[in-house]
C-alpha cells in the first residue's frame, strides 16, 4: 500500500471524509486512473486485487483455479472491508467486486463509489494488453465482456458517480472524476 503524508484534501465546501472506490469492468482503467486520481487528491492509493494477492500469498488466477470464484469473492470482500477503514484513500476494485451484494452494500455505505464505464471496443483493446484475467482464460474477450456488461452495468449504475472512459489518455477520466467530485453532494 502506498502511503501519502499529505493531509486529506477538502473538496469545495466539505472535507473528503470517506474513501473513493472505483468500480467497473475489467480493462476500464480502475488501477491506472486510481493511481493518478490519488496523486491529484493527495491520498494513498490501493489496488484491492494486489492486496488480495498479498493476503493470500498467491495470484488471483491461482485462487480461482485452486478454490473457485466463491472462495475468492469471500476473501475479496474481507480485504475491501479492511481497505475502506481508516483515512480516506482511493481504492481500485476488481471487476466483479461490486457485483457481490455484501461488498456492494459496504462500498455504498462507507465509501464514495465511482463507476468507470467504457465501450466494449475500448475494453477489448485494453484487456488484450494484459494476461492473467481468469474470466477471459481460453475465451473470446469480446463475447465475455459483452455478456458481463449486460449483467453488470445495471449494478454498476448504483454507484453515485458515473464516468465514461474514452479512447484517450487516462488523465481525461481523472479530470472527469475531479469535476464530478467538485459537484458531488
Asked if 127 and 136 count as a contact pair (C-beta separation under 8 A), the reply is: yes
121 is in an annotated binding site: no
29 is in an annotated binding site: yes
Buried b (16+ CB within 10 A) or exposed e, 23-41: bbbbbbbbbbbbbbbbebb
18 is in an annotated binding site: no
31 is in an annotated binding site: yes
Q: Which residue has the cell 477538502?
A: 10
Q: What is the dihedral of CA 134, 168, 184, 51, to 10 degrees?
A: 30
133 is in an annotated binding site: yes
95 is in an annotated binding site: yes
152 is in an annotated binding site: yes
30 is in an annotated binding site: yes
Q: How far apart are CA 104 and CA 139, in angstroms?
A: 27
- Give 37-40's long-range contacts (Cβ < 8 A, gap of 24+): 37/90, 37/174, 37/177, 37/178, 38/2, 38/4, 38/89, 38/90, 40/174, 40/178
Q: How far apart are CA 161 and CA 28, in angstroms?
A: 15
Q: How far apart are CA 1 and CA 147, in angstroms?
A: 33
Residue ranges for the known binding site for substrate are 49, 73, 95, 152
Residue ranges for the known binding site are 27-32, 49, 73, 95, 133, 152
Residue ranges for the known binding site for Mg(2+) are 31
Residue ranges for the known binding site for ATP are 27-32, 133
Amino acid at each position: 500500500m502506498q502511503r501519502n503524508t499529505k493531509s486529506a484534501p477538502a473538496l469545495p465546501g466539505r472535507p473528503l471524509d470517506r474513501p473513493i472506490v472505483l468500480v467497473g469492468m475489467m480493462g476500464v482503467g480502475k488501477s491506472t486512473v486510481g493511481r493518478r486520481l490519488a496523486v491529484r487528491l493527495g491520498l494513498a492509493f490501493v489496488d484491492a486485487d494486489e492486496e488480495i494477492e498479498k493476503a493470500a500469498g498467491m495470484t488471483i488466477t491461482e485462487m480461482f483455479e485452486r478454490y473457485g470464484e466463491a472462495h475468492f469473492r469471500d476473501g475479496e470482500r474481507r480485504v475491501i472491508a479492511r481497505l475502506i477503514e481508516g483515512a480516506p484513500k482511493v481504492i481500485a476494485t476488481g471487476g466483479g467486486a461490486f457485483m457481490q451484494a455484501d461488498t456492494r452494500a459496504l462500498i455504498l455505505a462507507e465509501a464514495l463509489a465511482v463507476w468507470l464505464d467504457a465501450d466494449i471496443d475500448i475494453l477489448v483493446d485494453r484487456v488484450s494488453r494484459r494476461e492473467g484475467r481468469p474470466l477471459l482464460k481460453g475465451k473470446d474477450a469480446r463475447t465475455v465482456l459483452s455478456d458481463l456488461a449486460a449483467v453488470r452495468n445495471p449494478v454498476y449504475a448504483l454507484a453515485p458517480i458515473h464516468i465514461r472512459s474514452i479512447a484517450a489518455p487516462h488523465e481525461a477520466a481523472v479530470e472527469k472524476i475531479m469535476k464530478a467530485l467538485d459537484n458531488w453532494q
